[in-house]
Amino acid sequence: MLINKKKNTKKGGKKTYGKFSKRKQFKKRFCRFCADKIEIDYKNVGLLKNYISDRGKIFSSRFTGVCVKHQRILTRAIKRARNIAIIPFVNL
């Protein structure tokens, strides 16, 4: 059984590329904690609230631009602050 695959070609024979073919070049993000040598502390509520959504979810490192090492430390600090009741689990 033969399956015909459609080719992305115009009548002139040139290949056309879809809207996804042009790749965007992203600027390399630098971790804020690495660049400014900021220490993450569970008592620093102002800093931790920047990395929590309105519903209380922790933002991913893709969204915030934090490196893997500091994302782990940040997550632990947020969870620790929640358990001590410095930060609410859910904001209503």
**Domains, in order of start, for the chain:** 44-92 (4.10.640.10)
Q: What is the mean pLDDT of residues 41-64?
A: 93
Spatial contact of 82 and 49, defined as CB atoms under 8 Å apart: no
Helix residue spans in the chain (DSSP H): 32-36, 45-49, 61-64, 68-83
Kindly indicate the confidence band of residue 65, based on its pLDDT and cuts at 50, 70 and 90.
Answer: very high
Which residues have CB under 8 Å from 31's CB, separation 6+? 65, 66, 67, 70
Kindly indicate the confidence band of residue 13, based on its pLDDT and cuts at 50, 70 and 90.
Answer: low
Q: What is the mean pLDDT of residues 55-71?
A: 93
Average pLDDT of the chain, as a whole number: 83
Spatial contact of 63 and 69, defined as CB atoms under 8 Å apart: no
- Pull the structure tokens for residue 27: 């600027």
Q: What is the mean pLDDT of residues 36-65?
A: 93
Count of Cβ atoms closer than 10 Å to residue 87 Cβ: 19
Which has the higher per-residue pLDDT, 3 or 9?
3
pTM for the whole structure: 0.68
